[in-house]
Every structure is written in structure tokens, then in C-alpha cells.
A and B are shown apart, each in its own frame.
Chain A
Amino acid sequence: MEPDIDTRNTTAAFDSVESAVDDPSATVVELDGITREYGAETAVDDLSLSVNDGELLTLLGPSGCGKTTTLRMVAGLERPSGGSIQIEERAVADGSTFRKPEERNVGIVFQDYALFPHLNVAENIAFGLRDADSHEADERVTELLELVDLTDHREKMPSKLSGGQQQRVALARSLAPEPDVLLLDEPFSNLDVRLRVEMREEVRKILKRAGVTAISVTHDQEEALSISDRVAIMNDGTIEQVGDPAEVFENPESRFVASFLGQASFLSARVAGDDIETGMGTFRTGRLNGPVEAYNGATVDVLVRPDDLRAIPTAESTADGYVTQRQYNGPSFVYRVKLHSGDVVHCLHNHSESFEPGEPVEIDLTADHPLAWYPTE
């Protein structure tokens, strides 16, 4: 994964989407104001996004947010109602043109892989090598089988392969014609949990080795954050935020992004000069990730995740609140704490620190990074 690149300088709250986009000269895919309507329903709403050469960008969002529709519009499997799409600086969809999927040079890895059941592994991979003679196709297949580490399975039928192997064949098949961009639709959702983590690394490695530009779609935040160069968080047909995974995670630009990533809680805080007063004590405004002067005297909501807080058992008189629920995750506990102020927060503790529900606790803010905040709605 990319190192944490100077997230502290990125301004929070009201940044526009475009400003997060990198150098446009290396753009491979450019979506400009695309919209997709189904009757009265708008699935994708005026969405703009650039994908750079060689990067892996993930569209992340809850079901129904329009991410799959966006991907299918890039593929040409769906026609935008408005806006334009460019691939390698060539318009593939706008008001006047619409290039069919077979004319776009995009590769797709389908959610269920869609391996042709009547063809073996090598035939599947060679399927898109239309112009190559049989010798060239053979060589390319060999090359790709090496890339995805399936050299021994060349002659097998897809049904004889495990889920992870099928996925790698699907990857090899879509990479074979050297697409300008590779699209991955929920690529790991059909794998069991253990294999999923393994395949994430594997797929990222293969994509990087192939040097292909890729757009993937998922609703799994852990997957998106761990494999992507950049993530775009989608909600309700639009992109809420695009950026480096760590940056997006630590500085969510909107309440939606904040609440979608991690087990977020919002702590209501009153700004009083250089101090902010909360249900778990008073902090300096310096703990927040941006200038808050404009809100002096007003309340803001501070984003706190379980790993930012610690609960300390204490006497009833000094407690900030009490434990209402204990969630055991194996290596760790997450405690739900109801503050006297009415807020509810979550604290992460290792498995040896066991408190009982009802126990009065004091909450410590242990986060060593600036906290994101939002004007109270």
C-alpha cells in the first residue's frame, strides 16, 4: 500500500471532488457529468471522475449507490442518459457517439467470473485474442498462465477449478487482449472470507505486474481500502470523496463518508475559543483537523472511532458514562458507552480488558491524529 501522504494538509469538509484528482495528463478514463436514469429513478447523477494510467481505483459504496451502473457504463453495457465518457482520450459515449462494448478495448472481470463453461482454461483465455494466429495465441496464453500462476491448469475445464483459480482465469482472460482499462465488478464477493483476503493481495500483485489501469467496484470497505491506490466513495449516484485510502479514512469530507467507514461515532462538541467541550471532557481545538474558529460558540460533531478512545473504569461520581454493551470479536472487545451527555461512543480494547455492562467509565481520547469534524446538522 501507498504510504500515508501528507494527509494533514488536505483541507477537510468542503473540498470539491475535482480537486482530489491527480495529474490529468496521464488520465486513461475520464467520466464527465455522466447520468443514468431509469424512468423517474436516477441511478447515477452527474458523476465525474478521472482514472490515471496504471492505477487501481475502487468505487466503494452501499448497495444501490450506482457503482455497478457506473462500471457498466464504462464497459458500454449500459448507455448513459447524459454526460460523456472518454477512454484513452477517445470519446466512447457522449451525446452523439456510443461505442459498443466490443469496440472499447475494456476488460471485465465479472462478479461470478462468467467463464465459458464449454471451453477449457486455455480456450477461455484465448477467446479474446481474435487477431492472433494460433502460435501467437498459445504464447500469450502461456504468458498469462504464468502471470496468474496457473500453468498446470491449462487444459482443465472451469468447473474443475476452485473459486480462487476461476477468478485468476477470469483475470487472465480479460487481460489477454491488453485492454486499456480493466473493470472488476465485486471481484471477491464469491469467495469465502479466508480466501478473500489472500486473493486481494494476489489480484493486486497481478494487476501491478500487468501494469493495467483498473476500476473495481465493491461494498466492502476493508477490501477497497486494502487493495486500491485510490478509492471513490459513492452515495446515491454521486461521488462523495475520492482519494488515497488512508486520507479518505482519516479525513472523511462528509458525514456520509465518515459514517460509512469504520465503526464511526459522532461526539457533539461546543466550540469555546481554543477549547472544545464534550461529554467526555474538554480538549484543545488543535486536536481537530482544520480551523474551527468560524464555529466559535456553536456546536460541531467530532468523528471518533473505537481505536481513538479508551474506557477506564472509575467511580460513579467521576464517570463520563457507562458501558451498555460488549461486543466480543476474538482478539478484541468493542464497548458501547453511553455518555451522560447523551452521545454514544465505541471503544476498542484488547481481549484481556473485560468490563461488564453497567460499569461506570471515564473515556480517554487516545487518538494521535487530528480528528475530523462536521458542523452539527
Chain B
Amino acid sequence: MATGDRDRVVEQTQGATTERSASRVLSGVAVAITLLVLSPLAWLVLRAGEMDAARAIELLTSQTTIEVTANTIVLVGSVTLLSAFVGVPLAILTVQTDLPFRRFWTVTSALPLVVPSYIGAFAFVSAFGPQGHLSDLLAPLGVDQIPAIYGLPGATLVLTLFTYPYIFLTTRAALLSFDGTIVEAARSLNHTRWEAFKRVTLPQILPGIAGGGLLVALYTLGDFGTPSIMKYDVFTRMIFNEFGARRIDYAAVLSWLLLAMAVVILAIESRIEAGRDGAYVSRGARRPGEIKLGVWKLPATLFCGAVATLGLALPIAILLQWLVRGGVGYSGAGRPFELGFAWNSLTVAAAAAAVSVVVALPLAYLAARGDSRISSLPDRLSYVGYAVPGVVLGLALVFLSLKYVPFVYNTVFLLVFAYVVRFMPQAVGTTKSSLLQVDPSYVEAARSLGYPPLTAFRKVVLPLVAPGIAAGGALVFLTTMKELPATLMLRPLGFETFVTYIWRVQESGYYGQAAVPALVLVAVSGLSMLVILGREQQNGA
């Protein structure tokens, strides 16, 4: 077969000049979208230009800055490391051993991801805090002091429990795509099972572990809710507080540092990605033989059970307990939950999803079919969504809008725009991957049967990518519902959603009132996980 011909052809298929101009329009649209999405970052740059150099250096080298930087690095490092120690063994146990009830443990190991970390933190504080349930429970037994939940230990514990599934899932994927015959080859070359694991399996799954680890690191770096609840000073919490105190210069300086760290993490990620050639490629049908756990069966099961209890059963039990238990500290004072809040959440999320899907289509098309430098824009763009934490985005948009477009400030439009910037990359991703699965010859076939390009796209491509587009929209919708910091910073006055309501009752300590919205958000996250898993299954088939 003339493979060479075909590849070239796919790259070069630019028939008539009308098509060329059409692709130019497409590129123009993509560039415009990119600029718009990058505009919040532009504010940070502008801000830097305005600031006096001496003042900037003073702020950068202040005692607080150094402490906060150290805190952040320690938190990111410890959460990532701990997550690997939890996630990797779980992945190996559920994929490669004779662990009893493997399917069950697979599900419970992935599920903690559905608990938004700030809700988890909230639940843990309510249970383990100074006046928490646990101390109430233990007081009659003579235990009057339990370890402090606040600060670094609490933040590390909570973030690890709710983010280790990233490492679990990527490691699991690496193990599953791993060709078992390679292990058999190693064993035929006189390696014991353990040696084969060390010399063959581990190097192959290392990129998977690292990929998950970097997701954990990025999440931890950008997470605002957990450190705030745990009263641990990291960049996000400081930026939010400085913003509240209207000390914008300092907030901006901290934002640069935060972004710089995100860039470093992404740079490491892309280096690992580049070195990944050769890993992941083998798609052998054969599984490596099961590892017999023997006497380790019970400890392994207990380990899985302990993680599931802490990451899943406990937070949900606490939320349910809030629901049924009344009394002081649980309900009463404060503003009760109103249906209107739910409606607000749903409408902004739906608007963000709709805009994202529409904007994502041209970007995804360009990324999937494009042949120019512009076609890689969407991929770079997705980094913005991952790298810019909600607090930084919120801060940038508040001041950008006040300065240049004051009429959008304090409106839902600004809020929706923030969501689109942060979450649209998810829609680009799913749309792009489904476009990539559509054979370019479908369009050629339709055209040879008499349909002009746009009609061919509508009749053949669109029906095939519709599920991908829908999944992208659903993901944006669901993640928007959970978004905390940008929502807090950008919502119009008096505009309450699930998230802002939870935050308010958390601050005032009326746990019981948070039960319903918190459970709704957990369910919402669960749904988004189902969407992702459903896509994976479809793509795998």
C-alpha cells in the first residue's frame, strides 16, 4: 500500500481555493478565541509593567512570601508523594494480583475523586476538628485530645485522599495497556516475577505514574478550598485573602509565583511526555499472569478497605449525618438553602457548557485536521485551563473588567466567561478525540457522492462526533457546578449557588445546612466521572 502517498495526501488535501479560504477563516476564529482566553493572563503582565521594580522585589523577598512559597512546595510535594504511595499499590493490586473482589476495589479506589476536595475538607474538619464529632464521641472514653486536623497534616491528608485516584487511574491505564508477553519474555530470560516487575513492568508504567503525579501536583497547587478550610497558608489562600483586603499588588506578585510553579510542573510533564515514546504503545491482548498474594491477601484487602473508608465512606457518612442530625451547629441560624440557588448553579453551568461546546468545535476541528502551526493552538490553550488556578483567574478578571469593560463587572457574563476559560479545554479534548476517530475518507466519500464540504461535514461528521461534543458539554457543565474560587470572586452581588452557599455555612459553622448542596455536588461529580468512564469504554471498543 502506498502509505507514504496517503499520509502526504491527508496533510495536503486542500482542494479548491474556496476551501483554502475556509480554512483561513477557521484559523482566524481560532486565533481570536485564543486571544480572548489568554486575556486574563494579559492583565497579570500589564500589572507587572505598572509595578515599581523596587516594590516588586520587596514583596517577592518578604518573609511572608518565602514562608508561603515554602508551605506551597511542601504541600504539593507531600501530597504528590503520598498519593503515589497510595495510588500505585492500589493500581497494581487491582490489575495484577489475585486480590479478592478486585472489581469492587477498583471502583472504590477511583471513587474518592467524586468528592470535591473542599467538601471533603469541610467534612473532615467537622469530624476531627476541636469540637468535631469524633472528639464528642471519644470524650466519654477519656480521650481529650486528638491530633490536630488543621494545618499541613490536615491539608495533606484531605488532598491525598481525594486526589490520589489520578495516580491510581493513570497507573492502572498503563498497567492495562501493558503487553503481558513482555513479562513472559523477561521470565523466559530467567527473571523472577519480582525482577521482571522491577526491570520490565516498572519502567513501562513509570510515565503513567508520573502523569498522574503531575495531575495531583497541579490540582494541589491550584486548590483553594482545602488549604483555606485547613487554615494553611499557601499561594491560593493568600491571594484570596489579599484580594479580599484589596492589596492587589501583593496578590498579583503571589499570582506570578503561583503561575511560575504551574509552568514548572507543566514543563516537567511535557518532558516526561516527550520521553514516553515506546511506553504505552504495546497493545498486546495478553495479560501478564496474576501475582499470587498468598499471606499478603488479608493485609492487602485491609489496605484497600482503609483507603475506601477514609476517602469515601467517612465523608459520605458525615454528610448523611448532617442531613439527619439537627440541633445547634447543624441548622437553625443563618440563611436556609433556597431552590433559587440550585437554579442559579444550573443556569450558569448550562451557559458555560453551551458556550464552551460552540467555541470548542472550530478549535477541535483545527487540532484534529489541521496542518499548520495554528492547529496546535488548542493544545497549548488547554494548558491555560489547567495551569491558571481559579483564584488567579478570578483576580485577573475582576480587575481586567473593572479597567476595560466595567459594564460586565458584577454580572453573570463575567462569571460564565471565567468558567469557559477554565473548562473549555475539556470540551476541546473530547471533541478533538472524537473527530480524530472519524476517518477523513468519510468526507471524501460524501463529496464524491455529490455533497459540498459543509453539507458533507453536517451529514457525515457531525452525527459521528455528536456523542463526543455532548460528553464535552456535560464535563464542562459538571465541573462548573463545583468550581469554588472564581465563583466566590466573580459572582454578582447576592448571586448564590450551591458552592457559595456551602462556603458560607462552612465559614459560619452551620454544617447541617450544607448537607443537601454538598450531597448534590458529590452526585454531580459522580456523574461527570461516569461521563469520562463511558467515553473511555467507547473509545476502547
Residues of A within 8 A of B13 (CB): 77-78
Residues of A within 8 A of B4 (CB): 63-64
Interface status of B464 (Cβ within 8 A of chain A): yes
Residues of A within 8 A of B447 (CB): 76-77, 100-102
Closest chain A residue to B438, Cβ basis: A117
Residues of A within 8 A of B464 (CB): 117-118
Residues of A within 8 A of B450 (CB): 102, 128, 130, 177
Residues of A within 8 A of B15 (CB): 76-79, 98, 100-101
0 or 1 for each of A82-105: is its CB under 8 Å from B? (1 = yes): 000000000000000010111010
Write the nearest CB–CB distance from A106 to chain B, whole angstroms. Answer: 6
Q: How far is the CA of A100 from the CA of B13 in the complex (A)?
A: 12
Interface status of A341 (Cβ within 8 A of chain B): no
Residues of A within 8 A of B12 (CB): 38, 78
Interface status of B245 (Cβ within 8 A of chain A): no
Query: In the complex the two chains form, is A111's CB within 8 Å of B16's CB?
Result: no
Residues of A within 8 A of B273 (CB): none
Interface status of A50 (Cβ within 8 A of chain B): no
Count residues of B near A (Cβ-Cβ below 8 Å). Answer: 30
Residues of A contacting B: mostly: loop
Interface status of B493 (Cβ within 8 A of chain A): no
Q: How far is the CA of A40 from the CA of B13 in the complex (A)?
A: 17
Residues of B within 8 A of A127 (CB): 446, 449, 459
A111 in complex: contacting residue of B1, B442, B463, CB < 8 Å: B1
Q: How far is the CA of A78 from the CA of B6 in the complex (A)?
A: 11
0 or 1 for each of A300-321: is its CB under 8 Å from B? (1 = yes): 0000000000000000000000
Q: How far is the CA of A129 from the CA of B313 in the complex (A)?
A: 59
Interface status of B523 (Cβ within 8 A of chain A): no
Write the nearest CB–CB distance from A90 to chain B, whole angstroms. Answer: 16
Query: In the complex the two chains form, is B452's CB within 8 Å of A219's CB?
Result: no
Residues of A within 8 A of B508 (CB): none
Query: In the complex the two chains form, is A77's CB within 8 Å of B444's CB?
Result: yes
Residues of A within 8 A of B449 (CB): 102, 107, 127-128, 130, 173-174, 177
Interface status of A72 (Cβ within 8 A of chain B): yes
0 or 1 for each of B440-465: is its CB under 8 Å from A? (1 = yes): 01101111111110001001100110
Query: In the complex the two chains form, is B446's CB within 8 Å of A64's CB?
Result: no
Interface status of B144 (Cβ within 8 A of chain A): no
Would A63 and B16 be within 8 Å (CB), given that A102-B447, A130-B450 are in contact?
no
Q: How far is the CA of A116 from the CA of B12 in the complex (A)?
A: 23
B9 in complex: contacting residue of A72, A128, A177, CB < 8 Å: A72
Kindly name the residue among B1, B6, B459, B464 whose own CB sees the greatest number of chain A CB atoms within 10 A: B1
Residues of B within 8 A of A235 (CB): none
B16 in complex: contacting residue of A65, A98, A104, A174, CB < 8 Å: A98
Query: In the complex the two chains form, is B16's CB within 8 Å of A66's CB?
Result: no
Query: In the complex the two chains form, is B452's CB within 8 Å of A67's CB?
Result: no
Query: In the complex the two chains form, is B2's CB within 8 Å of A64's CB?
Result: yes
Given contacts A102-B456, A116-B442, 13 further A-B contacts (CB under 8 A): A63-B5, A64-B2, A76-B447, A77-B444, A78-B9, A79-B14, A102-B447, A110-B444, A110-B445, A112-B441, A127-B446, A130-B450, A219-B1
For this complex, 12 residue pairs linking A to B, each with C-beta atoms less than 8 Å apart, are A64-B2, A77-B9, A78-B12, A100-B15, A100-B452, A101-B444, A102-B449, A104-B448, A110-B444, A117-B464, A118-B464, A174-B448
